[in-house]
A and B are shown apart, each in its own frame.
Chain A
Amino acid sequence: MHPAGRRLPSRRQFAGALGAVAGTAAVAGCSSGPAKDMNTLQVWGGIPAENGPQQVIDRFQEEHPDITVEYTRYINDDRGNVKLNTALQGGVDIDVFFTYGVPNLTMRVSSGLAADVGDLVRSTPELEMFLDTDDPKALIDGDEITALATTRIPQMVLFNDELRERAGIDLPQQWTFEEYLEAIRALAADGKYGTYVLPDLARIELGPNYRFTADGDSNFSHPAFLRHFDLAAELIREGVLYPWSQALARQLEAYQQNNFIAEDFGLWTTAPYSLRFLTDQEEYPHDFTVSAAPVPTLDGADWNTGEYGAFVQINSKSPKQEIAWEFSKFWLLHGGQDLIRAGYISLLGDIDDDQLLEGILGEDAEQFFDVDSFRRTLFEDQPRMHLDTELTAYTEITQKYEQQRDVCWLLERSPTKAIETVDKNAQALIDRFEED
């Protein structure tokens, strides 16, 4: 018996295939039908099971002994997301899945992969916050709700304290972008860079849905975008920012912890999910402490560049909508304590800030971190988060934007030209797909 026999087609399916090739296939299938077990919930997520999901699942199963939950971890990169998408489209037995980032969210929602849970949310008083359309934490389209954010992912500025002190920078509690620039310039010395990349200046200034004007046109002609490209390119040329060619060659876009640990740069704009690397002395040994500062403000604008994310969605084709919803609800309301270790700050649940802080920073927090600075930055400041809800051609526009960003920051195209191209492409895409 083939070990993957479970995945081989059933006799009926195989007979179908045989019909298609008119009996030419000379091989017999060894198979046992993967009949969909109505009490087994298939969940796909990007966090390794042992970093929290398994604990949530265990507790869920305790409460619902008749339900078994199987968790499949997919790698949240291009390839992993294609796998999940094709699995969903191809009718693989998946009931609940987690989506990271708005481009993936857009694709899944616009192809109708996610079930509408609007009525279910409205009938659950504890989930009232998801009905808020002013500061949305769910994807709401009229009455329809297709995705619920499970966490907030505030961005913050991390300092390598040793390098910070050497450069003579006081830990800021509030700071402007000008002060931020001074800091990274001061840090860029002795073969080190100031930081990896600038926080998204356009986002700080414009907040949610910043790619679109009020009329739904492309907003990339807004000077904030050009400023971001321009300034970053300038700083890369000066050697203040980490070279983009290096970032591309090593595919660092998603994760830069290795470079921060190696002290390639002393300041790093990131989110709580990165902190687990800093508490892991075995895999990421380092001897400096880390403190946190808020994302700088820009001309008085103070949007945090972080967003609500890690959306839980139910497969629209799942025959187990009810228990899928039970599970999603459980995850939202009671999953927080287990997921905090992975750096996921739950949107709901009765966990106070100290518990969260301890969860994120680990038991030996004082050894690695300036704990107060994290409390201040992540909780007391109440960073202003966003969620993009205008999704026309979002995936395509993201791609065009990143393409131009790359060539611009490789210093192979002028920022003006790059932004013009993004604007033109984005407008063309909007014109083409608007009615969708």
Chain B
Amino acid sequence: MTETSTAASGTATRPSSSGGGTGPAARQAQRRRRDRIRRWSWGIPMWILALVFLLPFAWMISTSLKPDLEAFAIPMQWIPDEPRWENYTEVLFGENSILLAFWNSVFVAVLRVAGELTTATLAGYAFAKLRFPGRGKVFIAYLATSLIPAQLLLVPRFVYFQELGLYDTLWALILPGMFTVLGTFLMRQYFVSQPDEFAEAARLDGASEFQIFFRVYLPNATSMISALAILTFVWSWNDYETPLVFLSSPETFTLPMGLTSFTDENGAMAAGLSMAAAVISIIPILLVFLIFQRRFVRAMTESALK
């Protein structure tokens, strides 16, 4: 996470430091000190800004440890006198436990990621590196479909899933999520930025197209693949609309649906429980992101997404 040194050396918006003179040691020490001051004089305001950005999450955690009615206490009390950890046990193991929803979300996300990575890398590679008649037209059609408002397809998919018996099953979320246009587009952009020469050389050596893909290009694509994995995971984990329409039985609910179930039977939102559930729902995705964060940023940089 603390990639300060590597990241800093990677960029060069620090013109002053790149002059690199060989002056006396005193001047160098002075410059170093000036640099440090400069670093912190930018760093501190940015950190304050970041904390403001993250304030809603602090509030979320604080509220998750309070009884419902204190959510709106004036003035806001950041650290509750008696933190209600039982909000968490209630959310996890109580009547409306979100564990099943949690598991459903994991199940959907894992399958979606696996499917998406498979189909998107293959297709993205083909659009970038293989020539075949109709490629341009198909790709244009792909880009056009990405403009279709998601809500437009809800009705026909609803009918369609019902006919196929997929309605109210997790497959209604998994299957469409395995073939996204955006994933293909991202992978294509990445492969386009890779040199053609590898393939040509391998072809002359008699390698088959599948071998070229699997042995030559795929191994180099790991950071882009992890970026796509993260994005797909995020899309899947946070999807609200699809489960709202395609799932109806509580045992199929994914997390976003589960979170809404803490509107209690009396119609009032149970603030403490809802926030505890929200915090729990965020943790896995935060972990995934923090673990792969560096790779993710690098992949975004390499992928010619610009």
Assess the B166–A48 pair: CB atoms within 8 A.
Answer: no
Question: How far, in Å, is B141 (CB) from chain A's closest CB?
Answer: 18
Could you say which of A3, A75, A77 contacts B100, with CB atoms under 8 Å apart?
A3
Question: Are A251 and B269 within 8 A (Cβ)?
Answer: yes
B212: which A residues are within 8 A, CB to CB?
A: none
Interface-lining segment among B48-56, B73-81, B170-178? B170-178
Given the complex, which residues of A lie within 8 Å of B252, measured CB to CB?
4, 7
User: With an 8 A cutoff between CB atoms, is B263 at the interface?
Assistant: yes
| Complex contact B175–A17 (CB within 8 A) | yes
**A277 interface residue (CB < 8 Å to B):** yes
Residues 222 to 255 of chain A near chain B (Cβ within 8 Å): 250-252, 254-255
Would you call B249 and A9 a contact (CB within 8 A)? no
Q: Which of A81-89, A139-147, A345-353 contacts B (4 or more CB under 8 A)?
A: A81-89
A422 to B94, CA, bound (A): 45
Interface residues of A in 65-83 (CB under 8 A from B): 72, 75, 77, 79, 82-83
Residue in A26, A79, A257 whose beta carbon sits within 8 Å of that of B260 in the complex: A79
With both chains docked as a complex, state the minimum distance between the C-beta of A2 and any C-beta of chain B, in angstroms: 6
Pairwise interchain contact B249-A255, C-beta atoms closer than 8 A = no
Contact B248 A86 (CB under 8 A): yes
Interface residues of A in 84-135 (CB under 8 A from B): 84, 86-87, 89-92
Contacts of B249 in A (CB 8 A): 7, 72, 87, 92
**B115, A4: Cβ atoms closer than 8 Å:** no
Quick check: is B119 within 8 A (CB to CB) of the other chain?
A: yes
Please indicate the chain B residues that have their CB under 8 angstroms from the CB of A89 in the complex.
158, 162
Option from B118, B167, B261, B266 in Cβ contact (under 8 Å) with A91:
B167
**A10 to chain B: which residues have CB within 8 Å?**
165
Q: Confirm or deny: B283 has a beta carbon within 8 angstroms of a beta carbon on chain A.
A: no
Once the chains bind, are B171 and A77 in contact (CB under 8 Å)? no
Cα A27 to Cα B171 in complex, Å, equals 10
Considering the chains assembled together, what is the distance between the CA atoms of A4 and B103 in angstroms? Answer: 9
Nearest CB in chain A to that of B118: its residue: A26
C-alpha spacing A254/B266, complex, angstroms? 8
Distance between Cα atoms of A48 and B264 in the complex (Å): 10
Q: How far is the CA of A26 from the CA of B119 in the complex (A)?
A: 10
Chain B nearest CB from A290 CB (Å) reads 17
B261 touches A24 (CB 8 A): no
Task: Report yes or no: B165 in contact with A257, Cβ–Cβ below 8 A.
Answer: no
Most chain-A CB neighbours within 10 Å: which of B161, B250, B266? B266
Determine whether B194 belongs to the interface, using a CB cutoff of 8 Å to chain A: no
Q: Which chain B positions have C-beta within 8 A of A255? A: 266-268
- Contact status B170-A87, CB under 8 Å: no
A13 and B261 within 8 A (CB): no
Alpha-carbon distance between A255 and B268 when the two chains are bound, in angstroms? 7
Q: Is the CB of A83 within 8 A of B167?
A: no
Q: Which residues on the B side are within 8 Å of A257 (C-beta)?
A: 266
Judge whether A365 is part of the interface by a CB distance below 8 angstroms: no
Question: Min CB distance, A272 to chain B, in Å?
Answer: 15
Q: How near does chain B come to A168, taking the closest CB pair, in angstroms?
A: 30
Measured CB to CB, the closest approach of chain A to B271, in angstroms, equals 10
* CB-contacts of A1-42 with B (<8 A): 2-4, 6-10, 12-14, 16-17, 20-21, 24-27, 29
The reply to whether A7 and B244 contact each other, CB–CB distance below 8 Å, is no
With known contacts A9-B171, A17-B171, A258–B268 Cβ distance under 8 A? yes
For residues 220 through 266 of chain B, which have their beta carbon under 8 Å from a beta carbon of chain A? Answer: 244-252, 260-261, 263, 265-266
Interface positions, chain B 121-177, Cβ under 8 Å from A, are: 158, 161-162, 164-171, 174-175
Given contacts A7-B251, A27-B115, contact A79 B171 (CB under 8 A): no
Select B164's contact among A6, A17, A29, A254, beta carbons within 8 Å: A17
- Identify A92's interface contact among B100, B167, B269, CB under 8 A: B167
A393–B150 Cα distance when bound, in Å, is: 26
User: A77 and B251: CB pair below 8 A?
Assistant: no
A9 to B163, CA, bound (A): 12
* With A7-B252, A25-B178, A251-B269: A87-B168 Cβ-Cβ less than 8 Å: yes
Asked if B165 and A25 sit within 8 Å, CB to CB, the answer is: no
A residues near B265, Cβ cutoff 8 Å: 48, 75
Chain B nearest Cβ from A248, distance in angstroms? 14
In whole angstroms, what is the CA distance A20 to B176 when docked? 11
- Give the CA-CA distance A373 to B182 in the complex, in Å: 65
Q: Which residues of B contact A12 (CB under 8 A)?
A: 165
How many Å lie between the Cα of A129 and that of B300 in the bound state?
Answer: 70
- B residues 165-220 in Cβ contact with A at 8 Å: 165-171, 174-175, 178-179
Q: Which residues of A contact B285 (CB under 8 A)?
A: none
Neighbouring B residues of A16 by C-beta, 8 Å: 164-165
Query: CB distance A4 to B244 under 8 Å?
Result: no
Question: In the assembled complex, how far is the CB of residue B111 from the closest CB belonging to chain A, in whole angstroms?
Answer: 6
Find chain A residues with CB under 8 A from B164 CB: 9, 13, 16-17, 20
Pick from A3, A13, A277: contact of B103, CB below 8 A.
Answer: A3
- Distance (whole angstroms) from the CB of B49 to the closest CB of chain A: 28
Contact of A72 among B107, B250, B261 (CB under 8 A): B250
Q: Which residues of B contact A2 (CB under 8 A)?
A: 107, 170
Q: Are B115 and A25 in contact (CB under 8 A)?
A: yes
B293 CB–A CB distance under 8 Å: no
- The contact string, 1 if C-beta is below 8 Å from chain B, for chain A 171-213, is 0000000000000000000000000000000000000000000
- Measured CB to CB, the closest approach of chain A to B99, in angstroms, equals 9
A88, closest chain B residue (CB)? B248
Contact with A along B279-291 (1 / 0, CB 8 A): 0000000000000
Given contacts A21-B175, A254-B267, A277-B266, contact A9 B165 (CB under 8 A): yes
The yes or no answer to B29 lying at the interface (CB within 8 A) is no
**Chain B positions within 8 Å of A277 at CB level:** 266
Most chain B CB neighbours (cut-off 10 Å) among A9, A14, A24: A9
Q: Would A7 and B162 count as touching, CB distance under 8 A?
A: no
The CA-CA distance from A89 to B166 in the complex, in Å, is 13
7 A-B contacts (beta carbon < 8 Å): A4-B104, A17-B164, A17-B166, A27-B114, A75-B265, A79-B244, A87-B249
Chain B contacts to A: CB under 8 angstroms: 69, 100, 103-104, 107, 111, 114-115, 118-119, 158, 161-162, 164-171, 174-175, 178-179, 244-252, 260-261, 263, 265-269
Instruction: List residues of chain A with CB under 8 Å of any chain B CB.
Output: 2-4, 6-10, 12-14, 16-17, 20-21, 24-27, 29, 48, 72, 75, 77, 79, 82-84, 86-87, 89-92, 250-252, 254-255, 257-258, 277
Listed from nearest, the 7 A-B pairs whose CB atoms lie closest are: A13-B165, A87-B248, A255-B267, A90-B167, A254-B267, A83-B248, A90-B162
Known: A4-B252, A90-B158. 19 other contacts (CB 8 A): A3-B100, A3-B103, A3-B251, A8-B171, A13-B166, A14-B171, A17-B165, A17-B166, A25-B175, A29-B171, A72-B249, A75-B265, A77-B267, A86-B246, A90-B167, A90-B246, A92-B249, A252-B268, A255-B268
